[in-house]
């Protein structure tokens, strides 16, 4: 899966599951926690989704806000992990 594909899937997932609106504004650099799109329990849903979709497992040490706070960071981190 390319970084672009990951980015698209993450966008879709967040729109469907957190914004409940296919057309909602969501930029690649928007802080998901900081803008209230995802709450601290909701982030676990996002992580499970990534693990299932990309067939990867995150180590505890990787699960820090820095890796998951924006669509950009998520896609580059996951792409890096898949590489």
Partner 1 sequence: MCGIAGIVNVADRHEPPSRELLTSMISAIRYRGPDEYGLYRDRRAGLVHARLSLIDLTAGQQPLANEDKSLWIIYNGEIFNYVELRSELLALGHRFRTHSDTEVIVHAYEAWGVRCFARLNGQWALALWDSKAGRLILSRDRIGVRPLYVREERGRVWFASEVKAIFADPSVPRALDPRGLDQTFTYWASLPPVSLFTGIEELAPGSVREYESDGTKHDTLFWRPSYPVAPPDEYPLSLDEATEALAEKLETATRLRVLRADVPVGSYLSGGLDSSVTAWMGRKAKEGVFRTYSIRFEDAEYDETAYQRAMAATIDSDHQELVVRRSDIARVFPDVVRHTERPVLRTAPAPLFLLSRLVRDSGIKAVLTGEGADEMLAGYDIFREAAIRLFWSRQPHSTARPKLFDRLYPYLARSPQQAKGMALQFWKRGLERAGEPGFSHDPRWWTTSQLKRFFSPGLREAIERRPPGGPLDDLPEEFSRWDPLAQAQYVEVVTLLSGYLISSQGDRMLMAHSVEGRFPFLDADVMEFCNGLPARYKLAGLNEKFILKRVARGIVPESIINRPKQPYRAPDAVSFVEPGAPGYVAELLSEESLRDAGMFDVPAARGLYAKCLARAKDPAGEGVFSNADNMGLVGLLSAQLVHHQLVRARGLVDDARIEYKTLIDRAPIQQLSGTA
Q: Which residues of the chain form contacts with partner 1 (CB under 8 A)?
A: 16-22, 33-34, 36, 39-45, 47-48, 58, 60-66, 68-69
Closest distance of CB 62 from partner 1, Å = 8
Q: Which of 26, 44, 38 is nearest to 69 (CA)?
A: 38
Per the structure block, which two tokens stand in for 14? 């967040």
Q: How far apart are CA 43 and CA 77, in angstroms?
A: 15
Per the structure block, which two tokens stand in for 71? 């669509």
Per the structure block, which two tokens stand in for 57? 């497992």
Closest distance of CB 52 from partner 1, Å = 9
Q: Which is nearer to partner 1, 56 or 65 (CB)?
A: 65
Q: Which is nearer to partner 1, 28 or 39 (CB)?
A: 39
């Amino acid at each position: 899966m390319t970084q672009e594909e990951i980015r698209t899937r993450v966008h879709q997932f967040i729109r469907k599951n957190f914004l409940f609106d296919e057309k909602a504004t969501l930029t690649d650099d928007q802080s998901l926690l900081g803008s209230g799109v995802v709450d601290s329990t909701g982030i676990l849903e996002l992580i499970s989704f990534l693990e299932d979709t990309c067939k990867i497992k995150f180590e505890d040490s990787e699960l820090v806000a820095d890796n998951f706070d924006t669509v950009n960071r998520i896609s580059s981190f996951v792409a890096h992990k898949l590489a």
